[in-house]
Structure 1
Amino acid sequence: MKKTILFLFALATALAPAAEKPLKLMLITGGCCHDYGVQKDLIKVGIEARLNAVVTQVHTDDKSTKPPLPILGDPEYAKDYDLVIHDQCAAGIGDVKLIEDVLKPHVDGLPAVALHCAMHSFRFGNFKQPLEVGAENGKWFEFLGLQSSGHGPRKPLDIYYVDKEHPISKGLPDWTTGDEELYNNIMVHEGTHALAKAKQGKNEAVVTWTNLYGPKKARVFCTTIGHFNETVADDRYLDLVARGILWGVGKLNDDGTPAAGYGAE
């Protein structure tokens, strides 16, 4: 009888689905104008609490517009990762080769998430004017799928979803933030899919969207929300970012839930 029980236990164990390996996510933070020392931990803890994922922090405490991000100059920086979260504020880095190196993994098909000031990074020249596709100083905006050059006052945003059926936004509530920044939309690229807009007084802009980038159509999820710690710590924000990550790696069900094995334990 004991041998039979042991055999059945071994058989059940053998037939049980193997646990999915955690997603390997790289989170890049640092640079001007934000409390990245706190926000990097809010994001890491928030994402790991929601997903079967390990977030590796790549951070610099430098507060300049040209932060010495550890990835710079290394086109292989994202090797063995499933997705990169760009949350840096590097508005002063305009070296074409450095920008190409940052983009290289995504040109090769690696998915990405871009948060807040990532939209105002790696820019130079006449970036306050709409840039044609193919412009040397527009490569970062082509990756994002939207060109932004600045923001309005630090006041609450009324956020509302314009595509309520997309897996990322399915069932998520419209909401009003505390003080935030509304990033302008100088140009929305063809193929960019808006998920949410926000109003701040009389001004309105797309604040959350998806893009398919490059020849391999790498999935890119972006949101301009996330200036203040209170927003980054908000469950509604972290839920949105977590879904954006799952969509990026192809592990988000149509109803907005994680694919089997990719939710929190």
Structure 2
Amino acid sequence: MSRILLAFLMLCASLASLPAQTPPKIKVLILTGVNGHDWRATTPLLREILERTGKFDVHVNEEVRGNTLVTFSPYDVLLLNYSDWRNAGPWWDNGARQALLDFVRNGKGLVSYHFSMSAFAGWPEFDKLVGGTWRETAGHGPYHPYTVTIVDREHPITKGMPATFAENDELYHQLSLQPNIHVLASAFDDPNNCRKPGEGCGTGKDEPLIWTLSFGAGHVFQTALGHDVKAMQSPGFILTLERGTEWAATGQVTIPVPDDMK
């Protein structure tokens, strides 16, 4: 055997023995700083849920004003935990709004979490961006236990998940929905679940709670689940958030379904 061939074989053997390279982590930027809900409690938990998978590198931005595409460009996906519902400031300036649209339109990802869908009333492009919004017709009955049904079990986010999972949370209803959303999960809104007798009741219909859509070249994932830290402990919320964020960033899902969710 020639020395050159021997050296080549030894090199191949040494390369084969090297550990496989770990893929780079998905870079996530949580945009928050104001919300009609307790963002100071939910933001750290959103970060923890994603980072403990080992797949995400999560940063937080609490200053919504002055953001540009340069601010967002180092990241693969933005996660909105923000709402200026009923004029609760501070507000995004026009440049920051345009940067959000351009970021997703150019092929990056967006996750819109829970009440973030109520942001930017009067800005039609945001309604198109997230696919469904909380506007004046929207509401919910009291916080209560209910069953979430997976509508599409073949989508990468929900593939391998059980047909249903339990939640104890708010159940949003009568959202303003865009025609191009792809609903992944819904729940029956019990008409007997009322804030007080005969008022603030469920609709008696299946209400969409989790959906996806495309915006330009980018992917958008919206979940209406996760009202507070208590609701965010749900295995169904955690798994769909993890897998939905990965899908929004990459178009693929590699995070496995745990045995207790199969």
**TM-score range with shorter-chain normalisation?**
0.7 to 0.9
Q: Deviations over 1:119-165 (max 9, x none)?
A: 000113xxxxxxxxxxxx31001001223313212322431111112
Q: CA deviation at 1:227?
A: 1.0
C-alpha distance 9-32 of structure 1, shift in aligned 2 (>3 A): same
Measure the CA separation in 1 of the matches of 2:50 and 2:61.
16
Question: What is the deviation of 1:208?
Answer: 0.4
Structure 1 pair 179–8 and aligned structure 2 pair: CA distance change class (3 A): closer
Q: Which of 56, 59, 67 matches 1:56?
A: 59
1:79 maps to 2:69: no
In structure 2, which of residues 48, 54, 72 is the aligned counterpart of residue 45 of structure 1?
48
Q: Distance in 2 between matches of 1:73 and 1:54?
A: 20
2:114 partner letter: H
| Pairing 1:231-250 to 2, within 5 Å after superposition | 231-250=231-250
In structure 1, C-alpha distance between the alignment counterparts of 2:147 and 2:74, rounded to whole Å: 38
Q: How far apart are residue 178 of structure 1 and its match? A: 1.8
In 2: Cα distance, 1:94 partner to 1:251 partner: 28
Q: Pick from 116, 120, 123 the counterpart of residue 114 of structure 2.
A: 116
Provide the rounded CA distance (Å) in 1 between the counterparts of 2:38 and 2:92.
Answer: 23
Unmatched 5+ residue regions in structure 1? 60-68, 125-136, 260-265
Q: In the aligned structure 1, how far is the partner of 2:160 from the partner of 2:227?
A: 24
Matched with 2:212 is 210
Structure of higher CA gyration radius = 2
Task: State the one-letter code of the partner of 1:155.
Answer: Y
The 3-state SS of whatever aligns with 1:229 is coil
Contact 1:182 1:198 in 2 (8 A): no
Structure 2 gap segments, 5+ residues each? 1-6, 192-202, 257-262
1:145 has 2:131 as partner: yes
Residue 36 of structure 1: how far off its partner (Å): 1.5
Instruction: Specify the alignment match of 2:255 in structure 1.
Output: 258
Whether the 8 Å contact between 1:99 and 1:122 is mirrored in structure 2 is no
1:31 aligned counterpart, secondary structure: coil
CA distance in structure 1 between the partners assigned to 2:171 and 2:104 by the alignment: 27
Structure-1 separation of matches of 2:97 and 2:115: 15
**Separation in 2 of the partners of 1:43 and 1:200?**
26
Structure 2 CA distance for partners of 1:9 and 1:110, relative to 1, 3 Å: same
CA contact (8 A) 1:48 1:55 kept: yes
Q: Does 1:12 align with 2:16?
A: yes
How big is the alpha-carbon RMSD for the aligned residues of Structure 1 and Structure 2? 2.6
Report the counterpart of residue 190 of structure 1 in structure 2: 179
CA distance in 2, matches of 1:94, 1:249: 23
* Map of 1:65 onto structure 2: none
**What secondary structure is seen at the aligned counterpart in 2 of 1:169?**
coil
Q: Give the Cα–Cα distance (whole angstroms) in 2 for the partners of residues 140 and 38 of structure 1.
A: 25
Alpha-carbon contact 1:181-1:227 (below 8 Å) kept:
no
1:24 Cα deviation after fit: 0.9
Aligned counterpart, 1:21? 24
Pair 32,189 (structure 1): closer, same or farther in 2 beyond 3 Å: closer
The structure-2 alpha-carbon separation of the partners of 1:96 and 1:184, relative to structure 1 and needing over 3 Å to count, comes to: farther
Counterparts of 1:32 and 1:245, CA distance in 2:
20
Fraction of identical pairs, as percent: 21
